[in-house]
Structure 1
């Protein structure tokens, strides 16, 4: 979790504490779905001080924070419930693929690692968040990891260029553990990190990666969002690079994409301003 995300989550949890206390709720087991739903949908105030319904993005963020809070509480044996499980929110957008938000990425990491052993699901998530597409991820092996350089070699595909992609601390830890597990479990050459070692065509291997990533997206409640697909995870990596550098070219290089237009569309960046007027003015004679 980044420092910025940690601070935002902490603020929202504090607000929920006050909200729950105002409704006579003071411990985890007393929080029911109605209380959690009321908080998710609670009205807020605009910057001008007016009371207004919460924006869709705010409702999604509130639900993500509560889900993570109760997931942690269950790990600590403070409760056995999750009052957010039945809270359904309408899809935010339709018709295109959107990048995951930072809070959704945090939830994805948790869902990927909420197991006893290093799984291919966690490896697939780590490689997608590093900038790999589903058609590339299934071919990556432990020999493609540069642990000292904190990066992974992506071999490219028919649509993308080969490249090095950086690994953050979480991805480095997950992939190191997965590589060790694959080496231990295999009597011959280490198999791929994110799929089974079963042979298959490129299309079949890509399909296995997509199944793993879709399963994780379903676990964090994004199955109903028609704009969220496995590419949404990869798109987050491109968006993070663009946010850090301010350059669409940097995002394109990170993702191995040759088209700046396609890169901008994938990460949801409107980088061209439509020109609706003819040069010289529409009324010129």
Structure 2
């Protein structure tokens, strides 16, 4: 019976399902390793608190884990940072969403756990778990849609004002990159594509060429919007609608700090986390201002310089 599933067995099943996401390019091996370590910590944490079965995990146990103290870089025990608490909650939500798809449970103990906003009154980047869920939700198996193409281009670092103008000829699959034409606020540039984004955009380009009417000029094809014309503002609005639809699919429609730019901000944040250099993230996003780039990706460099926290802002055990 599902009520008798050991939490350890459930975590193993969830991680096996996530391994399939890695095989499809929807999750990186590094992310799987990090999330797997976090879930195994949660498994041990829950067992110590008398919750060895999946059904034993309630909101109280989940909240205690999310808020649990961690270790700093100097191995001192201290309260977990807000970003770490949000990551824990996101990974647990993703875990229970996967467990529901596997028919292991029908509950989500994190559903009513509220945390302070990561950014007050501003757009925040998606976190890793949300980006993985976005890729999973952009199913293009039957027919590669403009929604999946828009998500792929945003995850590559494109803004809504650029995405609607990207054509199949802008994809360089040999070098795994896409040409962003820039906009009034951004510079033209090449953005690298991960395996998933390259697969999505290649499938979308093939679909467009195969289904375009004979009178449709190839140079007018667009990956993320319909073929009908419109002003730049109208094209951008269509892209925003597609991206908002994708965000609603993964349960972020009611989060006021999540907007289409949150997907692009995730791409910039990922570059900054990997390099520790805000200027590299700015070039990736085509932005001229380092301050604007920092604000977009949620890097509070003045505060972090004062408190000596590392670039990614996560200095505690997840």
TM-score after normalising by structure 2: 0.72
Residue of structure 2 equivalent to 1:136: 162
Structure 2 unaligned residues grouped into runs of 5+: 1-26, 305-318
Q: Deviations over 1:38-84 (max 9, x none)?
A: 3431152344558x6x6543443333223333444455x43473525
Q: Deviations over 1:94-145 (max 9, x none)?
A: 2222222222212221222386432222211110111110000011111110
1:201 matched to 2:231? The reply is yes
2:287 alignment partner, SS class = coil
Q: How many residues are aligned here? A: 266
Q: For residues 142 and 111 of structure 2, what CA distance do their matches in structure 1 show?
A: 26
1:204–1:36 distance in 2 versus 1, CA, 3 Å: farther
1:113 alignment partner, SS class = coil
TM-score after normalising by structure 1: 0.80
- RMSD value, Cα: 2.9
How much does 1:16 deviate? 4.1
1:41 matched to 2:71? The reply is no
Residue of structure 2 equivalent to 1:164: 190
1:80–1:246 distance in 2 versus 1, CA, 3 Å: closer
1:153 alignment partner, SS class = strand
Equivalent residue runs for 1:113-262 within 5 Å? 113=139, 116-187=142-213, 188-189=216-217, 191-262=221-292
Structure showing greater radius of gyration is: 1
How much does 1:178 deviate? 1.5
1:69–1:246 distance in 2 versus 1, CA, 3 Å: closer
* Higher mean displacement: 192-201 or 241-250: 241-250
Q: For residues 190 and 122 of structure 2, what CA distance do their matches in structure 1 show?
A: 27
1:12 matched to 2:34? The reply is no
1:220–1:148 distance in 2 versus 1, CA, 3 Å: same
